[in-house]
Structures are given as structure tokens and as C-alpha cells.
Amino acid sequence: MIKSRSQFFKIATLSIVFCASVVGGNISLRYLAVSFNQAVGATTPFFTAVFAYLATFKREAWITYAALVPVVAGVVIASGGEPGFHVFGFLMCLSATAARAFKSVLQGILLSSEGEKLNSMNLLLYMSPIAVVLLLPAALIMEPNVIDVTLALGKEHKFMGVLLLLNSATAYAANLTNFLVTKHTSALTLQVLGNAKGAVAVVISILIFRNPVTFIGMAGYAVTVMGVVAYGETKRRFR
């Protein structure tokens, strides 16, 4: 049960920020290459550290912040330079990155603060309907033919309904896991692991699709993995 107006306001804010991060990220992909989008997204741990300090005044050990440098730098190196710069796309991507960081901090507060603590399942239960109310009209406005396209795809591909259901179940599992990681570690740890996800995706992609990969790309993700390991070690020693 929601215990207070303050708690409801935080849940509603979490839903709004979540929607803003999704919409902003998708819009930015219309103007920026995925590589540059990923490079900007790699700065999420930095924003998370800033928001966490502003919200809780809890400061990590300086060596923990130092470990964030290779975590961010590795993904930037792997992404490479992007000549196709677009100001609006960059601003949307940067806004989505900041929103994602703020969401992590806010959900950490809701999952751990005394008096307003929620478990991961309840937070997802209260947050989801608000997100649906916000995203549904946004989808209809930004993609006015989305219903017709979905119905057409459903008629063309007999497994489309199953795929949509599987996608929804996967999204549910991802968000629930996201909350659980935040509750048992921290918002900053969640975003550091998010950067490590890119390195894992590269390895799986190479094994399954046998796609070519550059030396710079592999070197960049190796730096990210080393940064994640260093971050974990500093959190263990200096907590």
C-alpha cells in the first residue's frame, strides 16, 4: 500500500522520469548513430554519482569515483568518434542519460528509505500503470499509425502476438531485476553494471553471429571490464 502523498509523488516522478528516458533515447536515435548514442550513454555512472550525492549527501570513497573513469572511458573508446553530430539529437540523448541516472537514484530511495520503503514487486506494480498512462498517448501522437501497423504485422506474422507477449515478459523481468539490483547494491553500481553489459553483448554477438570486431572496440570494452572489476573491489574494501 502507498503510505503517503509524498511516497505517491515519488512513485509518479519515477514513472515520469522513466518515460522521459525511454522517449528521449528513442528520439535521439533518429538523429545520432548508435555508436555515438552509446558513447553519451556511457556517462550515466557520472550523472548517477552526482544525483546520488545531491539527493542523499552520501559520498563514496575517492578511489571508488576514480574507478568510474575506465568504466566510462572504455565504452567511449569502443564507440569511436562520430562525425555526424546533431545538436538536438545530442541534447535528447544527454537528457535521456541524465533521466536514467536520476531514475536509478530515485528508485534506490524508494526501495531503501525508512518509512517509505517498498519492495521491488510493489514498486513495479505502482509505477507501471502511471507509465502506461503517459506512454500510450505519446506513442499515438508520435506514431499515429502504430495500431494499424501492429494489426497488419499480426496478420502477416502468425507469431507476432507471441513475440509481443515475450517482449513484455522480458521487459517486466528486466525492470524487476533492475529494482532488485538497486535495492541490494546501489544506483551507482547498477549503472556501472549497465556499462559492463555492453562488453557482454559484444562477446555474445561475436560467438553467435560471428560478426567482425575492431581492435579498438575490443580494447575499449576490455578497459570497461577492468574498470567494473576495479569498482567492485573498491566498493568491497571501502564501504
Q: Which long-range contacts (CB under 8 A, 24 or more apart) does 130-137 make?
A: 130/11, 130/12, 130/15, 130/16, 131/15, 131/18, 131/19, 134/15, 134/16, 134/19, 135/19, 135/22, 135/23
pTM: 0.73
Q: What is the pLDDT of residue 94?
A: 87
Low-confidence ranges of the chain (pLDDT < 50): none
- What pLDDT does 210 receive? 67
Predicted pLDDT of residue 201: 63
Which helix (H) or strand (E) covers residue 180, if one does? Answer: helix 160-184
Q: Is residue 178 within 8 Å of residue 105, measured between CB atoms? A: no
| pLDDT tens figures, 121-157 | 888 888 888 988 888 888 888 777 878 887 887 788 8
Q: Which pLDDT score is estimated for 95?
A: 92
